[in-house]
């Protein structure tokens, strides 16, 4: 099936500037800039095609996520010939983790190009990773698999993928601490309190408690992030003890 244009460009006053910015980020010239415009259009813009279908980055994000998975899997399959399925899956998860994709999107300052009726302060950290995935999806539709792989190699693999370093990267300190406590038969719990404070957005204060002793505290805008931060602080506070027990 032949793909048509994504939709008419809303960047009517800055077409040349946007085109130049995309060329710099991609490392090649787009053929159909409309796909990239769509990749930076938020649903709040309420863009629709002639059939009334929504035109924003969310479907491209879905496609980009799939392409990242395929291309990173292919890279790991070739680079780590002795890695089993479990190892390869774990390594791929580290490379395409939400945290890493957010870092990539922030590094490229992708939020600068986002068309939205919502203020930037209302977007969470994940907007960076979402836009990065949408950009990958746009590349695939505009230029195909080879250019998509070329971009991922240039922006993800070559500057950021170090197999040995990734092997030791912790994906979740909360999971690590829970696993250690269970293995050592230690009683632990997270105490969570909603804490409005002086902030406009609700915050949550979390304490990580090990056998009735408060090991760490953290405060974040979601329970999940607060628990993860408290777990990370607990890990560093107990690192020598954890390492000793793991090697004992």
Which residues belong to the active site? 65, 133
Residues 6+ apart with CB under 8 A from 208: 177, 188, 190, 214, 215, 216, 217, 227, 230, 231, 233, 234
Question: In this structure, what are the phi and psi dihedrals at residue 198, rounded to the nearest 5 degrees?
Answer: -100, 5
| b/e sequence 92-117, b meaning 16+ C-beta within 10 Å | bebbbeeebbbbbbbebebeebbbbe
Provide the token pair at 183.
């293995």
Segment 185-190 long-range contacts (CB within 8 Å, at least 24 positions apart): 186/210, 186/211, 187/211, 187/212, 190/227, 190/230
DSSP H helices in 30-57: 33-39
Residues 6+ apart with CB under 8 A from 223: 192, 204, 206
């Amino acid at each position: 099936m032949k793909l048509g244009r994504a939709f008419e460009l809303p960047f009517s006053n800055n077409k040349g500037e946007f085109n130049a910015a995309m060329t710099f980020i991609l490392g090649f010239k787009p053929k159909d800039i409309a796909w990239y415009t769509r990749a930076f259009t938020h649903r709040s813009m309420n863009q629709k095609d002639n059939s009334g279908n929504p035109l924003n980055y969310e479907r491209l994000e879905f496609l980009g996520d799939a392409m990242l998975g395929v291309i990173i899997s292919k890279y790991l399959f070739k680079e780590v010939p002795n890695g089993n399925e479990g190892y390869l899956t774990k390594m791929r998860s580290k490379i395409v983790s939400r945290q890493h994709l957010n870092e990539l999107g922030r590094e490229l300052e992708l939020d600068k190009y986002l068309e939205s009726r919502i203020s930037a302060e209302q977007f969470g950290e994940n907007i960076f990773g979402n836009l990065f995935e949408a950009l990958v999806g746009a590349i695939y539709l505009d230029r195909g698999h080879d250019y998509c792989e070329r971009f991922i190699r240039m922006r993800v693999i070559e500057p950021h993928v170090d197999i040995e370093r990734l092997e030791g990267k912790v994906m979740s300190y909360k999971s690590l601490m829970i696993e250690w406590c269970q293995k050592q038969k230690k009683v632990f719990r997270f105490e969570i309190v909603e804490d409005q404070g002086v902030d406009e957005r609700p915050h949550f204060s979390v304490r990580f408690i090990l056998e009735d002793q408060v090991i760490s505290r953290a405060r974040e805008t979601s329970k999940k992030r607060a628990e993860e931060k408290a777990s990370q602080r607990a890990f560093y506070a107990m690192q020598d003890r954890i390492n000793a027990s793991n090697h004992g």
